[in-house]
Amino acid sequence: FPGHTFTWKTLVPAWVLDALPPALDPEPLVLSFQQRPPTWLRCRDTEEIIASLNRQRIPWDRHARMQSALAIDPSWHLAHVLKREAGRYEVQDIASQAVGMLCYPEPGQRWWDACAGSGGKTLHLAELLDGHGAVLATDVRDLSREFERRVAAAGYRGISAIQLDAATTSPQPAPFDGILVDAPCSGMGTWSRNPDARWRTKPEDIRAQSMQQEAILANAGTGLNVGGILVYSVCTLTDQETTGVVHTFLERHPEISLDPFSNPLTGEAVPGILQILPADGPGDGMFIARFRKNR
């Protein structure tokens, strides 16, 4: 394009910069979308997976704080190189692993994964419960064969699944000790892995997604035990889908408040809301809020 000057602002649609939180520096974020992140593994037996990777001379990095998380170059075909270890690990981005850690389910609890999708976070909840509790997975779509395959391969007990719309329906019996709402979103946090998505996403999508997110959160809150934990996560960075949804939810539900936690990636104290940027992992961008029902 003769005579055209390319800058970092041309790497995303113009509306994106206005959609970000005012306090977020857009330039390093946009530039991070140009870097493909590693593939992250969540290992059931980390030393076993490390030994297999070492035998095959496959370089790996271990997360400094989340010791079951390993990063490898995305060019490796894991189904081939870790064929013998199938079911001993899950491909799950480090930011998604942080979501499960912030749920922190306790033995004997009942959890509802309201937007289970392909089941990665459902499996993480079941792993953390270690057979001493129950996880109900639901999704607006019929849960996929991929979900069934992953559950069967992992062999966890206490997982059940049904199809329902979490924006309008609560599963029975309720209430639950904990609920995870990993809501559908614009997916801006995954643009490093899906670079074309930035050109397909429209600003009107953001408003539609935030309305759906608000509805799911509101419905989920009614199914939570007093003292129970509700975790809201979205793999996006827009102000409307993150702090905007949280503020609306808190205004409409005075019985629920933010619940402080420690950032799983750094150990730093967080007052209930965490924005993970792609460069933090490195990995996907993820927004996480944790709530507690007080009455």
Which residues are marked as active site? 235
Q: Which spans in 155-242 are helix H?
A: 197-200, 203-222
* CA dist., res. 135 & res. 221, Å (int): 17
Amino acid at position 120, single letter:
G
Is residue 129 within 8 Å of residue 181, measured between CB atoms?
A: no
Give the whole-angstrom CA distance, residue 111 versus residue 250. Answer: 21
Contact by Cβ (8 Å): 235, 183 = no
Q: Quickly count: other Cβ atoms within 10 Å of residue 129's Cβ.
A: 23
Cβ of 49: how many Cβ atoms within 10 Å?
Answer: 21
Strand ranges, E, within the chain? 39-43, 61-62, 69-72, 89-91, 110-113, 134-139, 159-163, 176-182, 224-234, 256-258, 261-262, 269-270, 273-276, 286-293
